Structure 1
Amino acid sequence: MEEVEQRRGLTATRTVVVSVAVVAVLLLGAAIGLLIKLPGTPSSSVPARESVDVGFLQDMAVHHLQGITMANAARDKTTDKFVRQLAFDIQSTQLEQVGRMKGWLSLWGQPEQSVDGTHMAWMESGSHEHSSAAPSAAVSGLMPGMATSEELSKLRSLSGTEFDVYFLQLMLRHHQGGAPMAKYGSEHAGEAVVRTLAANMLKSQTGEADYMRTLLAERNAQPLPFP
């Protein structure tokens, strides 16, 4: 009985430590975002609410937060060292990026999310040429690649190899859905720091997507269908 209580105590302590670390990273990212001076941008000039910069930061932050949620689940449940390390890398990288994006939005006096509940309208801006990455209409609800509530519930219900495979499938699709936004942001954002961030996201997530395909093949599984 005493041993069980000790284990419970260690688990509770570990949970608190992880939670504190997560909050610390998010706050650090936000602080970095607030402290960075945008090159060539006077303090009185900030991106407009309808700009690619603001829309990209708002939507990618929302997209990232679901990726962080899934990565946290994988870190808690998986016993596969490769899946756990991947989940840790995704969670830590995207958490810092969310903090940075929210920091810039706060600096510019812009809301953290789209005020009308739609997404990706910034990829249709008339001031930019359309690319294959741009949607034909603003998206309401879930953005491309994001998991539904039913899919997230299913993920939480699984364990062992079934969990690992489904996590990899959902996260791969998640990366695939976010890639067009990152590409468009890297090409059309007005601020150099936003373009650089988007380009770095595209590069790192392309590498992670390739790695997830390898992990799925090693587990005799296929990626989920993606348009």
Structure 2
Amino acid sequence: MTSRPTDTTPSDTSGEATRSVTLIAGTAILALLVGTLLGWLVFADSTPGDDSVEAGFARDMTEHHAQAVEMSLQVIHTTDDQDIRTLATDIASTQGNQMGQMEGWIRTWDLPMAASGERMAWMADVEGYDDHSMAEHHATGAMMPGMATPAQMEELRSLEGEAADILYLQLMTTHHIAGIDMAQAALDAGVEDEVQRLSAAMVNGQEAEIALMTDMLHARDAQTLEESGEDADH
């Protein structure tokens, strides 16, 4: 006797998306509290300054992550593909959690969330930093390398089904490539303690997700923007 596949009705899909968003929001709030507590414990004897690598990394990566969460929440609501929904939920949950931790650190350091200087200025003095490589992923109009432009975000919001899935995978792959470069720069700069641990987790986790997203694109007869030779502006 064979079992019948479970139908996924629009109501089921909407309910699952709502549960995913609720879980992600709860995780981010918990991470903010934990990040603040760990900040008190770990950085009590040496608080990073306003122009430190630690502060620059935490601020810029928080902003970078915010767009990844936004893109993921968008596709969770539009996709009919369970694999895409699972990936997007994992990315939104992980990066929302990491955002909470970094915001908690900044609060503990008694620093403003917004930097007074340019974004990513802290990377300029990191040995081995490749400004040209980052520039390749800096689309005109995007706030930082790897981030989607307003036009790309609007395109993602306008699409549904597989077209939206493919664009999401492409934009998120580029997003991850630049995110890894930023996290690796923090490691190369010699950050310590929780900042080092979180940076290393970002590099490892996002490298694995890039491999997965590349395979998912190929399975859909599509390529990453990097494979297709398209520039950052898509």
Report the TM-score, using the length of structure 1 for normalisation.
0.83
Residue 40 of structure 1 deviates from its aligned partner by 7.0
Residue 142 of structure 1 deviates from its aligned partner by 1.1
Identify the residue that residue 5 of structure 2 maps to in structure 1: none
Identify the residue that residue 101 of structure 1 maps to in structure 2: 102
Distance in structure 1 (CA, Å) of the matches to 2:112 and 2:34: 18
- 197-206 vs 181-190, which moves further: 181-190
Identify the residue that residue 28 of structure 1 maps to in structure 2: 30
- 1:123 paired to 2:123: yes
Distance in structure 2 (CA, Å) of the matches to 1:104 and 1:87: 26
Identify the residue that residue 198 of structure 1 maps to in structure 2: 199
Residue 191 of structure 1 deviates from its aligned partner by 2.7
Amino acid at match of 1:124: A
* Percent of paired sites with the same residue: 34
Amino acid at match of 1:129: E
Aligned residues of 2:28 and 2:93 also touching (Cα < 8 A): no
Residue 13 of structure 1 deviates from its aligned partner by 11
The residue correspondences of 1:51-200 to structure 2 (distance < 5 A) are 51-116=52-117, 118-125=118-125, 128-132=126-130, 142-200=143-201
Residue 177 of structure 1 deviates from its aligned partner by 1.5
Aligned residues of 2:146 and 2:179 also touching (Cα < 8 A): yes
- 1:49 paired to 2:50: yes
Residue 141 of structure 1 deviates from its aligned partner by 5.7
What are the ranges of 5 or more consecutive residues in structure 2 without an aligned counterpart?
A: 1-9
Change in CA separation of 1:13 and 1:210 when aligned onto 2, cut-off 3 Å: closer
Amino acid at match of 2:35: G
For residues 17-56 of structure 1, the C-alpha deviation after alignment (integer angstroms, 9 at most, x for no partner) is: 5554443222211111111157775x35300111110000
Identify the residue that residue 4 of structure 1 maps to in structure 2: none
Residue 151 of structure 1 deviates from its aligned partner by 0.5
3-state SS of the aligned residue for 2:146?
coil
Aligned residues of 1:38 and 1:191 also touching (Cα < 8 A): no
Aligned residues of 1:186 and 1:196 also touching (Cα < 8 A): no
Identify the residue that residue 6 of structure 2 maps to in structure 1: none
Change in CA separation of 1:216 and 1:47 when aligned onto 2, cut-off 3 Å: same
Distance in structure 2 (CA, Å) of the matches to 1:90 and 1:18: 11
Aligned residues of 2:60 and 2:120 also touching (Cα < 8 A): yes
Residue 11 of structure 1 deviates from its aligned partner by 5.5
Distance in structure 2 (CA, Å) of the matches to 1:199 and 1:102: 18
Distance in structure 2 (CA, Å) of the matches to 1:183 and 1:13: 35
RMSD, aligned α-carbons: 2.7
Aligned residues of 1:147 and 1:174 also touching (Cα < 8 A): yes
Residue 130 of structure 1 deviates from its aligned partner by 3.9
Distance in structure 1 (CA, Å) of the matches to 2:64 and 2:74: 16
Report the TM-score, using the length of structure 2 for normalisation.
0.81
